[in-house]
Amino acid sequence: MYEKILVPLDGSKTAETILPNVVKLARASDAKVVLISVDTSGPDAGPNAGRSQSSWGDLGNGLATLEKPDAQMKAYLDSSANMLAEMGVKAMTASATGDAAEEILAYADEHGCDLIAMSTRGQSALRRGLMGSVTDAVVRASNVPVLAVGPKTVKGSDLGGSIRSVAVPLDGSETAEAILPHVEKLAELLSLEVVLLRVVRMVPWAYGAYESVPVDTTDIEASLEEEAKEYLSTVEARLTAKGIKCRSEVLHGLPWDKIVAFAGNTSGMMVAISTHGRSGIKRLVLGSVADMIIRSLETPALVVRPR
């Protein structure tokens, strides 16, 4: 499924929360992992002294007190790569200087990476790595899928371990369905159940339901729900025919909120979503929904931007 996974690290514990997921995927797909750091701070950061590292939780703690921050970052990445190797994962390191998102995307394109895996937040004491908006920028511009974990991700929740199912929001558009081939591979690779979601959201004012002119939208809502069920049933049948365990659910309300709540109320569920996709009334996957989901989930999210 995956041959080369790019993992941006900055020396922070937060950035390292993606690593258990990377280990599981790399083992299952026999993929090579590339650990990359991006120096965004310039050559004059960092005061004195350092210390050795012994575990992921401690790897970044010494980066604030270094005489040679570049050398220490290299040592940090090498130590991380060695840990992955001890777990049976082929790993190498890389570094770049410049804008974090641009350098991550450029490396992925130039070196044939087919997955980027990263935390939505992470910042070493040198402020040389992943800032809050970098993952969002990568997700919006990446030509390959991005596996992201947000600040609320439960520590230790890893793909194929505690993760047992994947929720897939769809709105009926071909763009939203671009996530499905990736979901199929992920489900087969890690034996995950696929749960197809469609959120039906009524916007009363769109039908003239002003406070002084109430409009009964019961029939419209029922029609939308029936349409959603029929659509999801069709997609479900396609996946089931391929031997993938699958079911579907229709939700009502604000898309990202309902998707996050559904995933949060289902033990061991991640989310896979396309960054864009619009139905006739724009009722599901708009540009900001993926970002809101990533930042609100307590489990990983796989995000794909259709070309």
Residue 151 above 70 pLDDT? no
Does one domain contain both 143 and 18? yes
CATH of the domain at 252: 3.40.50.620
Average pLDDT score over residue span 240-246: 97
Does one domain contain both 174 and 282? yes
pTM, whole model, 2 decimals? 0.81
Tokens of 190: 């890690």
pLDDT per residue as tens digits for the range 206-233: 555 555 555 666 777 788 899 999 999 9
Kindly state whether residue 282 falls inside one of the protein's structural domains: yes
- Reported as half-sphere exposure (CB side, CA atoms, 13 A), residue 152 has a value of 12
Question: 3-state SS of 272-302?
Answer: EEECCCCCCCCCCCCCCHHHHHHHHCCCCEE
Interaxial angle between packed helices 255-264 and 289-296, expressed in degrees from 0 to 180 and rounded to the nearest 10: 30
Kindly state whether residue 265 falls inside one of the protein's structural domains: yes
**Whole-angstrom distance, CA of residue 141 vs CA of residue 304:** 10
Kindly state whether residue 284 falls inside one of the protein's structural domains: yes
Number of structural domains (the chain) is 2
Range of the domain at 289: 165-304
Q: What's residue 22's pLDDT?
A: 93
Q: What's residue 250's pLDDT?
A: 95
Does one domain contain both 93 and 132? yes
**Whole-angstrom distance, CA of residue 53 vs CA of residue 76:** 8
